[in-house]
Homo-oligomer: A and B are copies of this chain.
């Protein structure tokens, strides 16, 4: 039995969602934050978007540098993602406080997380405001990935980190995967 609400208090209906750990750098300042609101925008050119509140420290870094990285971590790293999501770079050097291991970007000046399973390197092409967030649209100028974590079609086969809302995480069930053959599908 479905219920209807015109103004629901939580809006977690599109979850579970993978978490993009967004990295940004301006001068010598580096910061990382967790973003569950992200999506591909376009195949050609390849464009990827993350939504970030102007209140976030990362927002000003991206706005001024025009670059960001999006690191995708495995389920085993839920604790560090929760920590990143619950502290601000205004108050804390998260890289030092959480002993983050960084790698330098190839085509951006911004680093990414060494523990990532996959990373998008992005250069901002647009940054419109939608309500209380900014959509940072980035051209993907490079992708890092662990080839063992993706099958030959490029599909993830690792234990991904999936956000459920309000400090809770889960992962995908490798025992339950279904693949359709379009030619046989009626």
Question: What number of copies of this chain does the assembly contain?
Answer: 2
- Within the complex, the shortest CB–CB distance from A15 to chain B, in Å, comes to 5
Tell me whether B173 and A171 are in contact (CB under 8 A).
Answer: yes
In the bound assembly, the distance between CA atoms of A146 and B3 in angstroms comes to 6
Considering only CB atoms, which chain B residue lies closest to A177 in the complex? B170
Tell me whether A3 and B144 are in contact (CB under 8 A).
Answer: yes
Task: Tell whether A172 is near chain B: CB-to-CB under 8 Å.
Answer: yes
Chain A interface: which size bin? Answer: 35 or more
Tell me whether B171 and A154 are in contact (CB under 8 A).
Answer: no
| Contact A145 B13, CB 8 Å, known A78-B178, A156-B164, A173-B173 | yes
Write the residues of chain A forming the contact surface with B, with a CB cutoff of 8 angstroms.
1-18, 20, 37-49, 51, 70, 72, 75, 78-79, 82-83, 86, 103, 106-107, 116, 118-120, 126, 128, 130-133, 135, 137, 140-147, 150, 153-156, 160, 162, 164-174, 176-182, 185
A–B Cβ pairs within 8 angstroms, 12 of them: A9-B154, A10-B154, A11-B43, A13-B120, A14-B18, A15-B160, A16-B172, A82-B185, A135-B135, A155-B164, A170-B177, A173-B176
